[in-house]
Amino acid sequence: MEDKKVIQGNKINNHNVIMENREKVIITGIIDIHSFDDELVLTETEMGILTIKGKDLKMNKLNLDNTELVVEGQIGLLQYSDMDTIKKGGMFNKIFK
């Protein structure tokens, strides 16, 4: 499988998601964290908005300089959404019902 590279300014970033036993997820290509609690992480990545749902979620590492995020807990869902969906409010309406 080929890595996709995204050019941001003069910097080329990779976006990768590595999950270990549904208990730990390592994500690179992080741009921003929109929200975080023990059941939901909503983050913007190089490839779109990534939603992580689960139980007892903990952000063990966040380094926006290296664009890396590590979340641990009982991970139940990883889902991507496009920025267009966010701008229309569709995804937020579904998440926060």
Rounded average pLDDT over 72-86? 86
**Between β-strands 48-63 and 40-45, what pairing exists: parallel, antiparallel or unpaired?**
antiparallel
Average pLDDT of the residues of the chain: 83
Partners of 18 in beta bridges: 26
Q: What is the pLDDT of residue 14?
A: 86
42 closest CA partner among 83, 3, 6: 83
Rounded average pLDDT over 86-95? 54
- Domains belonging to the chain, first-starting first, are 5-95 (2.60.40.2000)
- Tell whether pTM > 0.75: no
Is the confidence at residue 1, as pLDDT, over 50?
no
Is the confidence at residue 74, as pLDDT, over 90?
yes
Higher pLDDT, 11 or 48: 48
